[in-house]
Structure formats: C-alpha cells, structure tokens
Amino acid sequence: MAPEELSRRRLLGALGVAAAGTAGCQSLFTTSTVDNDTATPSTPDLTADDADDADASVYTRVYEQVADAVVSIRVYPDRSPPSQGSGFLIDDSHVVTNEHVVAAGDTVFARFADTDWRPVDVAGTDVYSDLAVIETESVPDGTDPLSFAAGQPSIGTRVVAIGNPFGLSGSVSQGIVSGVDRTLEGANNFSIAAGIQTDAAVNPGNSGGPLVDLDGDVLGVINSGGGDNVGFAISGQLAQRVIPALITDGSYDHPYMGVRLASVSPLLAEANDLEQASGVYISYVQPDGPADGVLQGTSATRRVNGSPVDTGGDVVRALDGTPIPTRQALASYLALETSPGDTLSVTVQRDGETRTVEFTLGTRPEP
C-alpha cells in the first residue's frame, strides 16, 4: 500500500466523527464522494507495524461510521422457531433487508444497536431480486442512514460486511470484491443479475446486511454465502432500481423476454456451425410471450460426440447495440438497463446470417 494512501486514510479517520455529526439524513439516492484536493498531508516514514495499525484504524472507522445504521431482524412464523437476519437504514424510516428474511413469517421485529426490539411493518418485497423494505416508526437519535456507492465496484476493492451472523449482533468482517456480474440463484428458475462476490466472511444471519467500501458506502445487500471465502451480495445498482418501487408501490416489475436461455458451449457451437463459442442461445420461446414470433427457439437436435445437442435456435449477439457474450451479460443488461414496455433491439445469428429484430418487453410473471 502506498504511503500517500495511508496518509489520506488517517486524515479521513480524524475527520470521520465530525462528518458523521454534520451529515444529517441522506436520501436513498445520495452517493458519497471525497474531494482529494482539499488537503495534502505530509507523508511519514512507515514501518510494517505502522501499516498494520493504519489498516486497523481504517476498519475501526468504517465500523463506527456504519454500525449504528445496521439492525438485527427477527421474524416469527406460526408454530416454528423464529428466524433472524440483518438490515440497514436508508432514510428516516425505511430499512433494507432480504426478501427471504421477512418471508419467513408474518410478525417482524427490528433492533438498532443499544435499543430494544421494536415491531416493524413490511413496506414491500420482491422475490426476484431477494430485496425487501421494512418501515420503522422509531429511529435512534443521531443514527445516519447509509448511502449507496455510485457505479459498480472494481474487483479487488476492499470491503466490510456488517451484520448479525448466528445472532451475534454488530459483527464485522473484511475482505475484497472477488467478482462482479455474478448470477445468483433466484426464485422460480429465474436468476438475480449483477451480483457481487466477496471473500468477506458471510454466515447465516448476515443476510440483508450491508457490504460497504472503506468510505462506508453500500456496494451491495448481502444475500448468501456459497462456501469457504465465497459470499454474495445483491448489487447496489440493482437495489437502487428496486427499492424506490418497494417503498412507493410495495412491489417491483421486472422486464421479461419470455425465452429460455443456454450458454453457447463448444458442442453447441459445433452443432450450430458457429465460428465462436460465445453468445447466448435461445432454446425456447414462450407461446404468446413478448418474443413469440420474433425470436426463434430450438427446432431440432444433432448428435455431437455421441450427445444430442439443440440446433436451430437464435444466438443473441447484442442487445440495443451492446455486445452480449454471456448469459450473465444478458441478465445484467436486462436488469439494469431496461424496464417493462421498452422496445428491445436484439441482434441474433440465425441460419448462418446476422439480423436485428425488435419486440416490446413484458413484465415477469408472479413466481
């Protein structure tokens, strides 16, 4: 780590308490920035121990900046043990969490740090993004809501996860962004696009808590842990599209093509005489769906290396002129760039030719 970066972080640490006291309540859409030209502190000589202390102070500062806005959540189903999760404050009265946290029962309680458990109402849920918003009538004085970071994080960005794993409230773990544009498992055979992968420790009870950068801005909503050193979060970009609708309408409408997709594997490329094993193959088009009569699904099979392989379906190469090399890219583009009712321009390879077709996106059906 460069000495200049450490010096900057020490300056921010010294200013952290004052900034928290004057920031006030921030809008859901507020993003935080730091003016790097406002000060040019001197650069001291640092030993290895100094560097370790500087890192420790950074994580302490982030925790102190964020922790008061993180809540513990308990949900009480009928005739079964309660479940638990995490959430975080985004304005004067709304807390973001996971849909799967609040879906466990009808009675929901939340607790801020150093407060008692308080009943809360569920303002809205969206099973397809696994996001939910709960509304609380009481927020402790001096608790500032968290802001979402602007844009997608870079791989390698240092992050902090704060939540309540195994009911241990206010726990913090640190790591990096290990990957972006991950496809997370969703409901009803759909997927959650644009997910963030991290190696920060994520365990049961962390669900719904914030994954923040070292400025305390939310990069994502923690969703699940996939194994040793592999955790996932719903991206802040998707959350900022979904959450306003959950607050105002109680639900969110996702765009819908009405097709079934497959990755272009080497065998599928050979069976369909494709020069490149890339793009997204349309294996099925839903009758009377948005793409019916416009896109083309599988019409036959061909044996390659002894295995039957679908043939005849369109291969998507671009959406609205944006190259689409993978299913993840297609899902992310739909989720972050389109809405139901939009006219989608799709460039496909069909029968050895490239053509562009258009249709109007529908609304994803209820699960």
Phi, psi of 138 (to 5 degrees): -140, 125
- Among 139, 144, 90, 141, smallest CA distance to 118 is for 139
What CA–CA distance (Å, rounded) separates 110 from 119? 6
| String of DSSP letters for 170-219 | TEEEEEEEEEEEEEEE-STT-EEEEEEEE-S---TT-TT-EEEETTS-EE
Kind and range of the H or E run holding 55: helix 48-66
Q: Which of 68, 91, 93, 100 is catalytic?
A: 100
Q: What are phi and psi of 240, to 5 degrees?
A: -70, -20
Using CA atoms, how far apart are residues 18 and 13, in angstroms rounded to an integer?
A: 10
- φ/ψ of 72, rounded to 5, equals -90, 145
Does residue 130 have an active-site annotation? yes
Among the options 207, 224, 235, 332, which is catalytic? 207
Indicate which residue of 91, 126, 130, 144 is catalytic: 130
Residue indicated by tokens 């030719």: 353
* Residue numbers annotated as active site: 100, 130, 207
